[in-house]
Amino acid sequence: MTSAAIALDAVSKHYETPAGLVRAVDEITLDVQAGSSLAITGSSGCGKSTLLGLIGGLEVPTAGHVTVGDQQISSLPEQERARLRRDELGFVFQADNLQPFLTALENIGLQLALKGSRNGYGRARELLDELGLEAHADKLPDQLSGGQRQRVAIARALVHRPRLILADEPTGSLDEDNSHAIVDLLLTAQRAAGGATLVVVTHDPAVAARLGRTVRLRDGRVEHA
Amino acid sequence: MRAPALVRVQELSKTYREAGSEAQVLRGASFELARGETTSLIGVSGSGKTTLMSLLAGLMRPESGSISFDGRALGELDDAERARLRARRIGVVLQSGNLIPFLTAAENVELAIELGGGGKRPRARARQLLGEVGLAERADHEPRRMSGGEAQRVSVAMALANEPDLLLADEVTGQLDSTNADRVMEVIFGAWRDRGLTVLFVTHNAELAARAQRRLRLHDGEVVAA
């Protein structure tokens, strides 16, 4: 039996703007199998980042339902949604959003600190080693290259072993070599023991091609699945 | 009589070197921040304001000169000691919020509390701090559901999380309209009044700069009275 890690049921996100109604996401229905990987592509403004935000519970749909695992994230109270995100989801964005005053190690460990784990840094160090960044553990983000910073951001997303990894243009500001390495890391995490589901928003066909399946959006709708 | 200085900066120099070119942004900058005073710092872009803030926050080392904080020379601290000082006694707010996008406002503030050593009831304190910056209602919202001004107020709450002695604010209203900019500055001035903080803020805005008790200008790598 396969179970869906993500189920979107006629999900829409509409905004009222001075210029009229914007249908950022328009009645999307989509299942993503647990343990699989999916690319969401499309030109800029097609709604792909909004869709990822809806899956991760960063945004609430105007209509429809989003289910992650066995929980309908779109109708959870805010604090429950925050807990689900913190415990079970891992996020990576184009900008690394690292805390500039914290070292690489501290940035990775902070997710665990929030969960009240006093000794999260052991696991954080382990990940730094796996990512080949052990020599950089005590450096500030400013002292790292773009590719190194993004690897730290990925370690931060993985440190609590999430079952769903959501990445929004994770290679958007990197060159080809770094980009390839970042996708390697995401795929390794997806296939690691226990397995995770991976969803990547990308405008880069080379990145999309490496994932199990691609969904292309246009004007907030699925163009071809 | 003036209170003794909390921060004493002496003859600070910093040069950026890149393949074949050199830019000396600070050349012997000296000044003091008096305890409990608000100080503004203006200067044209590229004049080294942000460099100076990074040095004060202990994020960067000067090539010469010294900074002392409450009588302790930053240059004599190792990385871990500097990090501890920053986490517990210095609050920093930057131009664009450094909020973690997948955490709520309350979680972001709670994180700042945890990083400073935790203390009692971090969750309740995070909410109390958000109330102080006028965002009690927004505690469970994610940064992307907030306006830029609200996100900046969350950043101020984070900077205040560990009861710092010094608040450094680097162009924190640079990307806001005047209404939102005013609210952010009100929150900073309010914290100064209520907590007896020492505040240094960098701004492009002359009107804002004039609201500080002491006004400095960074000019040709030196700090002078504005």
B144 near A CB under 8 A = yes
Contact B103 A58 (CB under 8 A): no
Average pLDDT for A72-88: 92
Query: Alpha-carbon distance A202 to A5, whole Å?
Result: 20
CA torsion angle B138 B144 B150 B151 (round to 10): 110
Crossing angle between the packed helical segments B148-159 and B105-115, to the nearest 10 degrees: 20
Contact A82 B59 (CB under 8 A): no
Question: To the nearest whole percent, how much of chain A has pLDDT over 70?
Answer: 95
Q: Which pLDDT tens digit goes with each residue over A190-209?
A: 998 678 999 999 999 999 99
Q: How far apart are the first and last CA of chain A?
A: 22
pLDDT of residue B174: 86
Cα distances (Å, whole numbers) of residue A220 to A4, A21, A26, A49, A125: 22, 13, 5, 10, 41
Q: What is the pTM of this model?
A: 0.84
| Six token digits for residue B10 | 């002496």
| Six token digits for residue B152 | 């900046």
Q: Which pLDDT tens digit goes with each residue over A115-171?
A: 766 666 788 888 888 888 999 998 888 889 999 999 999 999 998 889 999 999 999
Contact A78 B140 (CB under 8 A): yes
Instruction: For the beta carbon of residue A209, count every other beta carbon within 10 angstroms.
Output: 11
Are the beta carbons of A223 and A216 closer than 8 angstroms? yes
Least CA distance to B155: which residue of chain A? Answer: A99
Helix/strand/coil for B110: helix
pLDDT of residue A140: 87
Instruction: Flag whether pLDDT at A1 surpasses 50.
Output: no
Q: Where are the alpha helices (DSSP H) in chain B?
A: 49-56, 79-89, 105-115, 122-132, 148-159, 178-195, 206-209
Least CA distance to B55: which residue of chain A? Answer: A101
Least CA distance to B111: which residue of chain A? Answer: A114
Q: Which pLDDT tens digit goes with each residue over B148-184?
A: 999 999 999 999 998 999 999 998 998 889 899 999 9
Which of A58, A78, A100 lies closest to B102 in CB terms? A58
Q: Which pLDDT tens digit goes with each residue over A46-69?
A: 999 999 999 999 999 999 999 999
Sheet holding B222-225, edge to edge: B90-93, B166-170, B198-202, B38-42, B214-219, B222-225
Instruction: For the beta carbon of residue A113, count every other beta carbon within 10 angstroms.
Output: 20
| Six token digits for residue B153 | 């107020």
Residues of A with CB under 8 A from a CB of B: 53, 56, 58-59, 78-79, 82, 85-86, 89, 91, 93, 97, 99-103, 106, 110, 113-114, 138, 140, 142
Average pLDDT for B138-151: 91
